[in-house]
Each structure stands twice: as structure tokens, then as C-alpha cells.
Amino acid sequence: MRRKLAAGNWKMHGGAGDLAEIAALAAAHPSPVSEVLICPPATLISRMAEAAADTPVEVGGQDCHAETKGAHTGDVAAGMLAEAGARFVILGHSERRADHGESDADVHAKTRAAWDAGLTAVVCVGETLEEREAGRTLEIVGGQIDGSVPNGASPERLVVAYEPVWAIGTGKVPTLDQIGEVHGFIRAQLVDRFGAGAADGIRILYGGSVKPGNAAEIFGVADVDGALVGGASLKAADFGPIVTALDAAGA
């Protein structure tokens, strides 16, 4: 059985004053059925890891460099994230693919670096609205997984997040059938590539406008093993009910 994962992506939000959200989340979920993860800005990772130390909340980064060290001003190596207390790192988020021109090859190299540092990579894929309307969703998602995920994936090393670009931060969500189609497709692709033994344990998250009001129905879709949540992960008052809904789906 795959343990469900509720992952929060704070993006470029949050400061020291928001660390209290971790205690609030942990108080509401002292022993969640699901695994719970928050990925704050890099500057907050070490303090969040301290704040989360005696709680079930895990901490992750939002990106890493492909190299272990070097002359790369402004970048952070996977080993640095791990040293700061991260156990996961989000890679290939559509905002990084768009804002920083990250290619599948870049994400592939970063994923290898994350694995070498002992981190679990949360590799993000998803189509634009134009691609969906052109009927190219599965081709795009399949190509991104092929190009972004290195050989050697396992449940400990890899989580896949399906995030339609047009659903992120927009309040628009695909139909449950559309989510199910893509998640089933991704599962089949993972089985083809890594074998049923590994692929059956790799979690596939849905991301894009997940809120307390729509979480339960999304978590009822086959092969949805949790969510990658942006806006609704910033406050325990929003993220807590999403964790509750995921716990109920996993129970």
C-alpha cells in the first residue's frame, strides 16, 4: 500500500512569523495516517525543520542545483537542502520550467543530484491549456516523465506530481475523469519503465487548486495518492482539512 502524501508548496511566501503554522498543523494532526510535507522558501528550511522536529511534519525544498557545489551564484545544492533538514525536494515545477527555462534534461540532472543527497524528488509534470485543448495531454505528460525521471526510480526516491499548468493558482480543476485518466496513464508508464514492484509504490500526487472544498472528491480518484498544494498550504486552517480528507481516503 502506498502511504498517502499531503505536500504543501509555499512558493515565495512565508517568513519566520509563519513557522507557527507548523505547530498548528501538528496540533490538529498529532498522528496523521498520511505523510505531511511542507516545502517553504530555502531561507526557512532549517528553522522549519527545527519547528517540525517533534511533529509528523516533514520539510522539503522547492528546487536544487544539479551540481554538488561550485560557482553558481544564488543556487542551492541538494546536499545543502539535506543538511538544512529537508527530506524532499520539488523539481521541475511548471513555474520553474516557465520562469527559469528548465528543460526535462535539467530536471533529470537535478533529480539525480537529489537522489545522491538522499532526498526524495517530487517531480512535477503537466500540460498547458493549449496542449490540453489540442488533445496532447498524455503525450506531453508522458514525454516529461520520460525526460525528467532518471533510471533507478523507487518509492523512496520518487514522487510524481501531476499539475496541469492551467489549474495552478486559477481555481480551475480538471474533471475527476480527466484526473483519473492522467494518473492511470502515469501509473502504467511507471510500470512499463520500472516494473510493477517499484511502480506500485511510487506516489502520484494531483496538484492545482486543491482546496478543503474539493480535496475529498479528488482523493477518491484511483491512483491519486495525495496532493501538492500551493495557496491552501500556507495556513494550517486550510491545509489541515486537506490532510483530514486525505487521512479519510487512506484509512
Task: Name 228's Cβ contacts closer than 8 Å, sequence gap at least 6.
Answer: 7, 9, 90, 122, 124, 161, 163, 205, 206, 207, 210
Nearer CB in complex with ligand PGA: 42/191: 42
Amino acid identity of residue 157, one-letter, is R
| Cβ-contact 176, 219 below 8 angstroms | no
Q: What is the DSSP letter of 19?
A: G
Q: Which H helix or E strand runs over 14?
A: none
Cell of 54: 517533534
Closest CA to 194 of 225, 221, 158: 158
Tell whether residue 229 is a contact of ligand PGA (CB under 6 A): yes
Q: List the one residue from 49, 179, 202, 210 that touches ligand PGA (CB under 6 A).
A: 210
> How near is the Cβ of 74 to ligand PGA at its closest, in Å?
21
> How near is the Cβ of 192 to ligand PGA at its closest, in Å?
26
Tell whether residue 246 is a contact of ligand PGA (CB under 6 A): no
Stretch that binds ligand PGA, among 33-41, 151-159, 193-201, 204-212 (CB under 6 A): 204-212
- Say how many residues touch ligand PGA, by CB under 6 A: 13
Tell whether residue 234 is a contact of ligand PGA (CB under 6 A): no
Nearer CB in complex with ligand PGA: 226/231: 231
Nearer CB in complex with ligand PGA: 84/124: 124
Residues classed as catalytic: 93, 163
Nearer CB in complex with ligand PGA: 9/120: 9
C-alpha to C-alpha distance for 102 and 42, rounded to whole angstroms: 19
> How near is the Cβ of 90 to ligand PGA at its closest, in Å?
8
Q: List the one residue from 64, 209, 239, 250 that touches ligand PGA (CB under 6 A).
A: 209
The closest residue (CB) to ligand PGA is: 230
Task: For residue 210, count CB atoms less than 10 angstroms from its CB and return exposed for 0-12, middle for 13-18, buried for 19 or more.
Answer: buried
Q: Which H helix or E strand runs over 35?
A: strand 35-39
Residues at the contact surface with ligand PGA, assessed by CB under 6 A: 9, 163, 168-169, 207-210, 228-232
